[in-house]
Amino acid sequence: MSAGDESSKEPREDSRIKFLVIATDCPEARLAAFFSGRRAKRTEARVVLLHVIEPPEFGHWATVAETMRAEAMEQAEAVLREFAAEVKAQSGEDPEEIIREGEVVDEIRKLIEEDPRIAFLFLGSSTEPSGPGPLVSALAHKPAYLGAREIPVVVVPGSVTREELRKLSG
């Protein structure tokens, strides 16, 4: 078998689709990461983890804002480490990790527009009586938030168990 034959069996990293997971510090987002990792392994896709740091409201207090920003960055890195470990445990490979600053919906839209390989958005849905969560609600009411390039959104209910997700992911 020649080297060319071997490489044709392996998916080329630059051609694989990506699953975008919004990494937030909540149980339903962890379930979305778990499920996306399992689906990525099954479909030979990559997982991209996005954590968005929203701007602090203390614009006129520069030192307070800078301290809050540094703390938010530390928390974002910790959340991404946890999510990356979950995705790797399920998919067998390290996900791409991205931290951005801005409004969550805007940063999701920008990333989808920038990376044409992002093919699915995975979100976790809250079990709280107040609703599925602000992001799921916003996208349900106005899907145009995702931008001009439409992609499927996979909403993972926060009430589903990991065992149920294992069965669903094949």
Helices (H), the chain: 3-9, 27-43, 62-91, 104-114, 134-141, 162-169
Q: What percent of the chain is modeled with pLDDT above 70?
A: 82
Q: What is the pLDDT of residue 59?
A: 56
What would the pLDDT profile of 80-123 be if each residue is shown by its tens digit? 999 999 999 999 999 999 999 999 988 999 999 999 999 999 99
Q: What is the pLDDT of residue 64?
A: 75
Residue 10 lies in a domain: no
Residue 71 lies in a domain: yes
Compute the mean pLDDT over every residue in the chain, rounded to the nearest whole number. Answer: 85
Residue 28 lies in a domain: yes
Residue 133 lies in a domain: yes
Residue 9 lies in a domain: no
Q: What is the pLDDT of residue 116?
A: 95
Q: What is the pLDDT of residue 5?
A: 46
Residue 5 lies in a domain: no
SS3 assignment, position 96 = strand
- The residue among 157, 165, 130, 125 whose CA lies nearest residue 35 is 165
Domain with 60, as residue range(s), is: 15-169
Residue 58 lies in a domain: yes
Q: What is the pLDDT of residue 55?
A: 83
Q: What is the pLDDT of residue 139?
A: 72
User: In this structure, what CATH number is given to the domain that contains residue 116?
Assistant: 3.40.50.620
What would the pLDDT profile of 46-71 be if each residue is shown by its tens digit? 999 999 998 876 556 667 778 888 89
Cα–Cα distance measured from residue 26 to residue 96, given in angstroms and rounded to the nearest whole number: 20
Residue 4 lies in a domain: no
Provide the domain count of the chain: 1
Res 158 pLDDT > 80: yes
